[in-house]
């Protein structure tokens, strides 16, 4: 590899000190390295315009935390370009490299001494009152209550067969990548990152026997917002990777399955996820 683009969380790299260091190391090795401009959306989200990334880019290097890398993955949707995460936040699961390992990691990158890990994503379709185009989810799809102090009633089906009905704060469908995020906090299991599975986890269910369920990536999960005694219009909300949200009404259904595209993450050694996992769970 010798053509790179940098996406930086400028709140975490004030003065672009680490970013400048990355540029210098790569350019000293004869590489072309472009720094992407930062744009701010209507929701205050920082993002990169994919059309500004040169067509011949071989790798995108993301400097920030897991949230920055998730946003970059959305920005790069449709572009099959591998991503290397450099961690500038707390101990995350998506970033492969720490600042202290920068020079060694970039040398391996230039010398093509790396692995590419394909991470599955979720496609989401709304069947109900209106058509909505959802982005694919790398982490999770969360359906939760949006009203004040009110539970919602949700039906979950897999391949047309009802799994359960949940009363509570909601339910989330997670990829293996997202299993260490909200899913883990909600009591769900950790999935190996390269596996092809989805996990269904209820959020604060009003039941003692509600548990997470792991299904195949080939399955189709349907979530239906059920009608309660009171109107539930605009009392539920679906969120993709914590950044894209749509209000749901009673009888709206979300169909969730494996997306056609994947996100390609660069790894330097197999098993690095479990090294991070050990360190994280000890914290």
Residue matched to tokens 């500004």: 52
Cα angle value 204/167/156 (rounded, 5°): 100
- Alpha helices (runs of H) in the chain, residue ranges in sequence order: 17-28, 66-75, 102-110, 182-185, 272-282
DSSP 137: B
DSSP 109: H
**Half-sphere exposure at residue 202, Cβ-oriented, CA atoms within 13 angstroms:** 20
- Residue of 11, 56, 66, 241 marked active site: 66
Query: Is-catalytic flag, 140?
Result: no
DSSP assignment of 171-231: EEEE-TGGGGTHHHHTTPPP--TT--EEEEEEES-S-SS---EEEETTS-EEEEE---SS-
The total number of residues written for the chain in this structure:
283
134 three-class SS: coil
The C-alpha atoms of residue 181 and residue 169 are separated, in whole angstroms, by 17
Catalytic positions, written as ranges: 66
């Amino acid at each position: 590899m010798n053509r790179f683009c940098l996406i930086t969380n400028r709140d975490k790299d004030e003065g672009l000190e680490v970013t400048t260091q990355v540029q210098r190391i790569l350019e000293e090795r004869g590489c072309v390295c472009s720094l992407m401009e930062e744009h701010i959306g209507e929701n205050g989200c920082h993002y990169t315009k994919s059309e500004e990334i040169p067509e011949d880019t071989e790798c995108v290097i993301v400097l920030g935390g897991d949230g920055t890398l998730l946003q970059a993955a959305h920005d790069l949707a449709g572009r099959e370009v591998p991503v290397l995460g450099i961690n500038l936040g707390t101990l995350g699961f998506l970033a492969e490299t720490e600042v202290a390992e920068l020079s060694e990691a970039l040398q391996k990158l230039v010398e093509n001494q790396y692995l590419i890990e394909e991470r599955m994503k979720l496609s989401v379709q709304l069947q109900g009152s209106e058509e909505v185009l959802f982005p694919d989810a790398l982490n999770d799809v969360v359906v939760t209550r949006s009203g004040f102090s009110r539970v919602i009633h949700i039906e979950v089906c897999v391949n047309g067969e009802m799994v359960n009905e949940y009363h509570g704060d909601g339910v989330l469908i997670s990829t293996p990548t997202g299993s260490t995020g909200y899913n883990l906090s909600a009591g769900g299991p950790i999935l190996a990152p390269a596996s092809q599975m989805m996990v269904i986890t209820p959020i604060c269910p009003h039941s003692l026997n509600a548990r997470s369920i792991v299904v195949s990536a080939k399955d189709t999960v349907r979530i239906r917002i059920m009608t309660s005694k009171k109107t539930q219009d605009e009392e539920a909300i679906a969120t993709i990777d914590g950044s894209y949200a749509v209000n749901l009404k009673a009888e709206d259904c979300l169909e969730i399955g494996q997306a056609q595209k994947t996100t390609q993450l660069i790894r330097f050694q197999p098993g690095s996820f479990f090294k991070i996992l050990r360190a994280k769970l000890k914290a």
